[in-house]
Amino acid sequence: QLQLQESGPGLVKPSETLSLTCTVSGGSISSRSYYWDWIRQPPGKGLEWIGSIYYSGSTSYNPSLKSRVIISVDTSKNQFSLKLSSVTAADTAVYYCARHQGGIEAFDIWGQGTMVTVSS
């Protein structure tokens, strides 16, 4: 069964770059039917889609974050990654990686999430 696992620092200083990796296990990130996404959730708040990547490297980003976000994929490691630059306290959130199944247009598998706090 396919699983996703986020990893990365839990604390990032303001103005620095947040970097997270999602490792896909139990299946291939190169499957043509799927996109791989990042979603975040500030404490006690709702869900915000950050962006998406296809195994080929094609990306799409939330326009409100586009200037600060880079999502990349490493098919050899079955991983995809998120970089969010110039972070502020407003970027403090649980960050989830998720599989977006293109056939049904839904996030059908999610990682457990990782809490990232932006603080000096």
Partner 1 sequence: DIVMTQSPDSLAVSLGERATINCKSSQSVLYSSNNKNYLAWYQQKPGQPPKLLIYWASTRESGVPDRFSGSGSGTDFTLTISSLQAEDVAVYYCQQFYSTPLFTFGPGTKVDIK
Please report, as ranges, the residues that interact with partner 1 according to CB under 8 A: 46-49, 51-52, 60-63, 96, 98, 104-108, 110-113
Q: Report the distance separating Cα 21 and Cα 79, nearest Å.
A: 7
Please say which residue, 10 or 63, places its beta carbon nearer to partner 1: 63
Please say which residue, 64 or 86, places its beta carbon nearer to partner 1: 64
Evaluate whether 111 touches 26 at the Cβ level (below 8 Å): no
CB of 12 to partner 1, least distance (A): 21
Q: Report the distance separating Cα 44 and Cα 108, nearest Å.
A: 23
Please say which residue, 16 or 48, places its beta carbon nearer to partner 1: 48
CB of 40 to partner 1, least distance (A): 11
Q: Which two tokens stand for residue 109?
A: 């598998």
3-class SS of residue 67: helix
CB of 14 to partner 1, least distance (A): 26
Please say which residue, 8 or 113, places its beta carbon nearer to partner 1: 113
Q: Sheet holding 18-25: strands in order across?
A: 3-7, 18-25, 79-84, 69-74
CB of 68 to partner 1, least distance (A): 15
